[in-house]
Amino acid sequence: MKKRIFFQVIVIMMILFIWNCLHLGYNYQNRLYEAELSDSPMILICSDLKPLQNLKTALDTTSIVQYTVLEKDSLIKRNLLETYQLNNAEALLGKFNVPSILKIYFRGVEFSAPQKRELETFLNTSYPEVIINYNDTFWQNSLEKIALLKKAYFYSNLFLAVFLLITIVFLRLHFEMKNHEYWRVFVRAGGKRKVRHLRFFLHSLWLCVVPVGLNFGAYFIAMRQHYLPVEMDIRYFPAEGIFVIFSVILSRIFIGKHF
Amino acid sequence: MLRIEHFALTPGKIRVMVIEEMQIANGKKVLVFGDNQVGKTFFLQAVHGSHSQYAGTIQYKGKSNFFKKKEASILIENTAHVIPGETLWKNVTIPFGKISKRQKIKIFELLKSVDLSEKIGQKQQSLSVSETKLAELVRAVIQLPHLILIDDLDTYFDEKNYLKAMNILQYAVSNGTIVLATAKRKLELFDDYYREQDKKVVKL
């Protein structure tokens, strides 16, 4: 009987491990996509510095913007001279009016379609002189990838929850039915009926506590040893425990009168 | 004290196996004997609490619902209640959660008294019917229940094994257990005898 419980603990632990890997994998990939999105700035070009300075002040306080970088015309000129080694052309370049630029770095997915539309409308109406340069295709693709990832994450969670539920119910039913003859003889031989109920409760307790506990322990050690590139919300662990308890209760209901 | 009054099995409207009064004191062995199909098995099941189609009262120490606690009585039926794939020792100790050293010694002594001590490691399926029944008796006796009910006692044993069985039962009887058995014929070594005659059970 101990072997059977051990087997059930291992199976549930493995499924929970896969489930936790899914959370970690999602967090990792999502962070990657968001970082890509944040790394691609919107560039506002204007020959006059004043509107860009005003814009910087206004945008720095909004939630969609991570940070902004204002590059003045003098800085751009110097960059040009250094990059292309145009030391001899310094006097010539001084005669030209080089525009200033404002780079806006967004906070990943928070800069979604409505926010983008709102910002573009605001810029076009309030600052018509500002030229907007932004890689719309990349932004669109990134948002689609993130949306797809979320969808895949949701369905994977659903699948794993159903799979875990079916597995626990099936395992509990299977092993209880397999032990049915033993318990029949046990009662006929003078054994107390409540022993079976007590044993079922104790085994259920093992199934609810040990796999979740071991998974949490493994996660805790991995975090402490810096093996994981991302963290996961530790509230997932009690949630998984509650789900296992629910599955065990369901299996007890299914066993019902056969007990 | 087991007290049975105005008892009758009632399969439908017919009353069979009528017992006007039966009183069995603690530590007594009682045999009810009679032909086949007179209701002896149902009678034992009624006392055990697993058969409810009867009239009258069955009381133990003045309580009529004593058998709701199934462990108060152990019924040894024709069908052997053992796990064939398990060893003799496992089958004998199955009702015990944790078994004390004293109980282990006693079980071993009882098994030794019926020449089964050398077979404790053998699978139950390799033992004969009489050996299985002796093992069931040992298992019942060691728990010292209020009642041990044995159906068709004369079916399983030859004279030699019958004496062994009665010897085992003596251990429980000397500790106050009531033994109530049924058989087709009168057997020796019981304290009281009841005979089924024309659907009525009378004391001899």
| ipTM of this complex | 0.82
Chain B neighbors of A189, CB-CB under 8 A: 74, 81, 91, 94-95, 136, 139-140
Report how far residue A94's alpha carbon sits from residue A19's, in angstroms, rounded to the nearest whole number: 62
Question: How close does chain B come to A238, measured CA to CA in Å?
Answer: 33
Lay out the sheet containing A131-133: strands in order across: A65-71, A100-106, A42-46, A131-133
Confidence of residue B53 (pLDDT cuts 50, 70, 90): confident
CATH number of A41-134: 3.30.70
pLDDT of residue A38: 81
Question: How close does chain A come to B48, measured CA to CA in Å?
Answer: 11
Q: Inform me whether the C-beta atom of residue B74 falls under 8 Å from chain A C-beta atoms.
A: yes
Question: How close does chain A come to B81, measured CA to CA in Å?
Answer: 5
pLDDT of residue B132: 92
Q: Inform me whether the C-beta atom of residue B118 falls under 8 Å from chain A C-beta atoms.
A: no
- Report how far Cα A15 is from the mean position of its chain's Cα atoms: 19
Q: Inform me whether the C-beta atom of residue B76 falls under 8 Å from chain A C-beta atoms.
A: no
Residue among A185, A190, A195 whose CB faces B82 most closely:
A185
pLDDT of residue A224: 93
Report how far residue B1's alpha carbon sits from residue B3's, in angstroms, rounded to the nearest whole number: 6
Residue among A182, A193, A195 whose CB faces B83 most closely:
A182
pLDDT of residue A1: 62
Q: Inform me whether the C-beta atom of residue B139 falls under 8 Å from chain A C-beta atoms.
A: yes
pLDDT of residue A47: 84
Chain A neighbors of B74, CB-CB under 8 A: 189-190
Q: Write the pLDDT tens digit of every residue in B17-36.
A: 888 889 999 999 999 998 88
Whether the per-residue pLDDT at A94 is higher than 90: the answer is no
Report how far residue B9's alpha carbon sits from residue B167's, in angstroms, rounded to the nearest whole number: 32
pLDDT of residue B133: 92
* Domain boundary assignment for chain A: 2-33+144-258, 41-134
| CATH top class, domain B2-203 | alpha beta
Chain B neighbors of A182, CB-CB under 8 A: 83, 94
Residue B146 backbone phi and psi in degrees, to 5 = -65, -40
Structure tokens at A10: 């291992």
Q: Write the pLDDT tens digit of every residue in B136-168.
A: 999 999 988 999 999 998 888 888 889 999 999
Are residues A184 and B81, on separate chains, in Cβ contact within 8 Å?
yes
Query: Are B47 and B73 in contact, with CB atoms under 8 Å apart?
Result: yes
Residue among B75, B82, B94 whose CB faces A191 most closely:
B94
User: What is the model's pTM?
Assistant: 0.74
Report how far residue B202's alpha carbon sits from residue B20's, in angstroms, rounded to the nearest whole number: 8
Query: Are A241 and A204 in contact, with CB atoms under 8 Å apart?
Result: no
Whether the per-residue pLDDT at A93 is higher than 70: the answer is no
Whether the per-residue pLDDT at A27 is higher than 90: the answer is yes
Percent of chain B with pLDDT over 70: 96
